Amino acid sequence: MAGRRAGAGTGVRTLLALLALRALGAAAHPQCLDFRPPFRPPQPLRFCAQYSAFGCCAPEHDAALARRFGALAARVDAAIWAECAGYALDLLCQDPSTPLRTVPGLCEDYCLDLWRSCRGLFRHLSPDRELWTLEGNRAKFCHYLSLDDTDYCFPRLLVNENLNSNLGRVVADAMGCLQLCLEEVANGLRNPVAMVHARDGSHRFFVAEQLGLVWVYLPDRSRLEKPFLNISRAVLTSPWEGDERGFLGLAFHPGFRHNGKLYVYYSVGVGFHEWIRISEFRVSEDDVNAVDHDSERIILEIEEPASNHNGGQLLFGDDGYLYIFTGDGGMAGDPFGKFGNAQNKSALLGKVLRIDVDRNERGPLYRIPSDNPFVGDPAARPEVYALGVRNMWRCSFDRGDPASGAGRGRLFCGDVGQNKFEEVDLVERGRNYGWRAREGFECYDRKLCANTSLGDRPPPPRALEDLSPRICPPTPRLLRTTQEALLGTGCRLTPASPASADDVLPIFAYPHKLGKSVTGGYVYRGCEYPNLNGLYIFGDFMSGRLMSLRENLGTGQWQYNEICMGRGQTCAFPGLINNYYPHIISFAEDEAGELYFMSTGVPSATVARGVVYKMIDPSRRAPPGKCQIQPAQVKVRSRLIHFVPKEEFIRRTESTPRPTAPAPTKAPRRSRPTTAPLAPTLRPSRSTPRPGRRRGGGRRRGRLGTKVPEPSNGAVRLVRPAGLSPGRGRVEVFAGGRWGTVCDDAWDTKGAAVVCRQLGFAYAVRAAKRAEFGEGHTLPILLDDVRCTGSERNLLECAHAGLGSHNCDHQEDAGVVCSREDPHL
């Protein structure tokens, strides 16, 4: 707060601005004291009408706030109320009934005004006794209520352009980098290559490791101890970092619910002879969480002339056909045959294949869909759907816009490049994606490039590597000229050779300065983060860069934005993290459409350093309740292993350069790729603040001035449903740098007494069990088997199981009821 002292007129001007704003009914950014992103309420609010378009307040809550307001009016002297009702409305509508704050952070001028005649309100609005004791001292009182981040104080945030110009949009920083956060979902995985769901309503997710194991996770993120599938004996791979062979892909049949079929893609080898195999399996008749290992039927095998470029994606389209993405066979420059495999339609390598695996119980194991593009061509394999592919690593079908369905069925792929460019392609039937004639937008094999329809393009721009990536439209007849690339003006649409239109340029390509191995992702179509709708999110395995493309519907061009981890307080929500391991192996969508990715610190098939992360948009979420899912129950026969997150939020101050290796954590930091001496995920160069640079707004966490310290080890807090009086709630404990819950095994009034005393209550009335005060889903369970004598200074001093190790779940979250009065009197 130092250095800012508002003149007397500022408060008045701010208020006038606010009144004007309210009169216009414009949406304004609320403070969201629950430290979660704001959302658009499903219907307009009656009491906090100002936040009808965008806020933190659900309609039920709005009604509760209206009642509180009414109760307050009845309690406060009428003369005072006349003056203070406006303040009360302001303060209540910031929705202060959250465990983390009791009152909004206030701008100094506003607070000073308020203090003059309405400070008495706080006795009714906040249970915080420390605040009450400061009531007599105006400066201390307002300092206590101030925020570090003055942009975010109330009411200035309502008119802060940075915050409000971004309402309803993903927040970008000054460099155009979209700020997202992550939630850890699974860990300890050995090169997790795929995560898929079965489309069967169970909302399970299946994570495949390169070694040939597939694990089942339940919607609560617990993992079944017994693997779903274990074909590690048959799968060819090695511990060598960067080995591209192994178990590479997995897809459930669209009718899995009825026919129990799934398909896998893996490498096999005998001596020096290697090939890929696509097999069909069935789920076991007596366990829906296990594959019948004897059910394997080999659908297709393809010789691999070299150990790299093995493709590996399997997908079912809306057409019900199985799409198979092969690599060009390996080595460098697709050297096989006269002009390589990828341009050779009679080779299955370097292709997108499409086959029909339905009704294959009798007769052939698969059939050729009658509208495959080369069925009548004697010089082509009929399986071929598209060609000119080098090594497509991760493809996905767009689910389409949730409301309009627009975009549905588009097939996005990342095609890994040779020496210079990584590309993203929109794959269409019968099209040629250029390799080895072309790499990205450039010619790779000049002769071939000039000889075919792929030629007749301008000479490659020499200096393109030094430029930022450019986006060009997907239409094959359009291209970008060298000059435009060099000028950095993007893409001019110039008709190229009309001779053949079946060759397609990428929708986006990036030079090796930004990354050396693209990992294709997904178009976000989930429910929880409406701002991300339509954004194609992908990454790079070598540089750890996360990237995005958004289609401009007017021009058909794709707008590139990097994705970076939210800075400052942006990701400081409970349960979120702001860092990840750099080797981005794969992306995933869960059954509800939420987006995930998998990466590892050590890209070896035998090192268990892979993590699954969920993408979180801190700038906006869907209204509470909108995205609830009701997973179909599945019978679980195996033991369950509860998920314990291991990764931590890294606290960084914006004003100091980011440390390359944060001190207190033991985990290998992802800012240091192990094999790739390239731009690390959290690039320190970007962290250096630029003069005049501002954070891109978004929801920021309101913190109480400089007075809110990092909690100390063993600190506790109570989380309680709205409306309950203080002194009762779920117990959350701070240990090892994070908040977590306490399990109710062994939980008794002695433990409760310790917690109550820590919180300033003399008495413990009751030890609450069975999540009486709700479940702390987003937090780890930190303490189990807590046994206190009652005289300990904090919970950590009591006997307990090792921090974070437990055998319970959130249904057993412990709570307390405390009192200042002796309950026995």
Residues at the site binding ligand NAG, with contacts judged by CB under 6 A: 227, 230, 232-233, 337-339, 343-344, 346-347, 448, 451-452
Stretch that binds Ca ion, among 68-76, 179-187, 307-315, 434-442 (CB under 5 A): 434-442
CA distances from 452 to 351, 498, 644, 806 (A): 18, 12, 55, 64
Which partner, ligand NAG, Ca ion, none, binds residue 147 by CB below 5 to 8 Å per kind? none
Q: Which is nearer to Ca ion, 415 or 784 (CB)?
A: 415
Q: Which position among 385, 433, 596, 734 is part of the footprint of Ca ion (CB under 5 A)?
A: 433
How far does Cα 369 stand from its chain's mean position? Answer: 36
**In the bound complex, what is the minimum distance in angstroms from residue 387's beta carbon to Ca ion?**
10
DSSP-derived secondary structure for 180-233: EEEEEEEEEESSEEEEE--SSSS--EEEEETTTEEEEE-TTS-EESS-SEE-TT
Q: Which residue is nearest to ligand NAG (CB)?
A: 337
Q: Which is nearer to ligand NAG, 81 or 275 (CB)?
A: 275
How far does Cα 807 stand from its chain's mean position? Answer: 28
Which partner, ligand NAG, Ca ion, none, binds residue 141 by CB below 5 to 8 Å per kind? none
Nearest of 607, 519, 506 to residue 563 by alpha carbon: 519
Q: Which is nearer to Ca ion, 153 or 514 (CB)?
A: 514
156, 83, 705, 647: CA torsion to nearest 10: -70
Rg for the chain, CA atoms, rounded? 29
Q: Which is nearer to ligand NAG, 198 or 384 (CB)?
A: 384
Stretch that binds Ca ion, among 25-33, 432-440, 683-691, 699-707 (CB under 5 A): 432-440
Q: Which is nearer to ligand NAG, 153 or 194 (CB)?
A: 194
Cα separation of 81 and 440, whole Å?
A: 68
Q: Which is nearer to Ca ion, 519 or 619 (CB)?
A: 519
DSSP-derived secondary structure for 632-665: PP----SPEE-------PPP--TTSPPPSS-TT-
Cβ atoms 186, 586 nearer than 8 A: no
Q: Which is nearer to ligand NAG, 288 or 768 (CB)?
A: 288
For 330-342, give one letter per residue: b (16+ CB within 10 A) or e. beeebebeebbbb
Which partner, Ca ion, ligand NAG, none, binds residue 434 by CB below 5 to 8 Å per kind? Ca ion
**In the bound complex, what is the minimum distance in angstroms from residue 505's beta carbon to Ca ion?**
7
**In the bound complex, what is the minimum distance in angstroms from residue 304's beta carbon to Ca ion?**
21
Q: Which is nearer to Ca ion, 474 or 740 (CB)?
A: 474
Which partner, Ca ion, ligand NAG, none, binds residue 635 by CB below 5 to 8 Å per kind? none
Cα separation of 567 and 619, whole Å?
A: 12
**In the bound complex, what is the minimum distance in angstroms from residue 732's beta carbon to Ca ion?**
51
Which amino acid makes up residue 779?
Answer: L
**In the bound complex, what is the minimum distance in angstroms from residue 392's beta carbon to Ca ion?**
10
Cβ atoms 275, 269 nearer than 8 A: yes
Cα separation of 378 and 365, whole Å?
A: 22
Which partner, ligand NAG, Ca ion, none, binds residue 433 by CB below 5 to 8 Å per kind? Ca ion
Per-residue tokens: 318: 């809306």
Which partner, Ca ion, ligand NAG, none, binds residue 339 by CB below 5 to 8 Å per kind? ligand NAG
Q: Which residue is nearest to Ca ion (CB)?
A: 434
For 724-749, give one letter per residue: b (16+ CB within 10 A) or e. eebbbbbbbbbbeebbbbbbbbbbbb
Stretch that binds Ca ion, among 242-250, 433-441, 572-580, 689-697 (CB under 5 A): 433-441
**In the bound complex, what is the minimum distance in angstroms from residue 339's beta carbon to ligand NAG?**
5
Q: Which is nearer to ligand NAG, 132 or 339 (CB)?
A: 339
How many residues in the shown chain lie near Ca ion by CB under 5 A?
A: 2
**In the bound complex, what is the minimum distance in angstroms from residue 643's beta carbon to ligand NAG?**
18
Cα separation of 78 and 515, whole Å?
A: 66
**Cross-sheet strand order for the sheet of 351-355:** 313-316, 322-325, 351-355, 384-387
Which partner, Ca ion, ligand NAG, none, binds residue 164 by CB below 5 to 8 Å per kind? none
Any idea what DSSP says for residue 796? G
Q: Which is nearer to ligand NAG, 452 or 741 (CB)?
A: 452
Phi, then psi, of 129 in degrees rounded to 5: -70, -30
For 263-282, give one letter per residue: b (16+ CB within 10 A) or e. bbbbbbeeeeebebbbbbbb
Q: Which is nearer to Ca ion, 282 or 480 (CB)?
A: 480
Nearest of 194, 239, 241, 187 to residue 213 by alpha carbon: 194
- Partnered with residue 549 across adjacent β-strands are 536, 560
- Does 434 contact Ca ion by CB under 5 A? yes
Q: Which is nearer to ligand NAG, 230 or 586 (CB)?
A: 230
**In the bound complex, what is the minimum distance in angstroms from residue 641's beta carbon to ligand NAG?**
12
Q: Terminal CA-to-CA distance of the chain, rounded, Å?
A: 46
Q: Which is nearer to ligand NAG, 337 or 705 (CB)?
A: 337
**In the bound complex, what is the minimum distance in angstroms from residue 52's beta carbon to ligand NAG?**
53
Which partner, ligand NAG, Ca ion, none, binds residue 338 by CB below 5 to 8 Å per kind? ligand NAG
**In the bound complex, what is the minimum distance in angstroms from residue 338's beta carbon to ligand NAG?**
4
**In the bound complex, what is the minimum distance in angstroms from residue 631's beta carbon to ligand NAG?**
25
Which partner, Ca ion, ligand NAG, none, binds residue 227 by CB below 5 to 8 Å per kind? ligand NAG
Which partner, Ca ion, ligand NAG, none, binds residue 581 by CB below 5 to 8 Å per kind? none
**In the bound complex, what is the minimum distance in angstroms from residue 638's beta carbon to ligand NAG?**
11
CA distances from 587 to 207, 461, 522, 532 (A): 11, 32, 7, 15
Which partner, Ca ion, ligand NAG, none, binds residue 451 by CB below 5 to 8 Å per kind? ligand NAG
User: Given the rule CB under 5 A, which residues bind Ca ion?
Assistant: 433-434
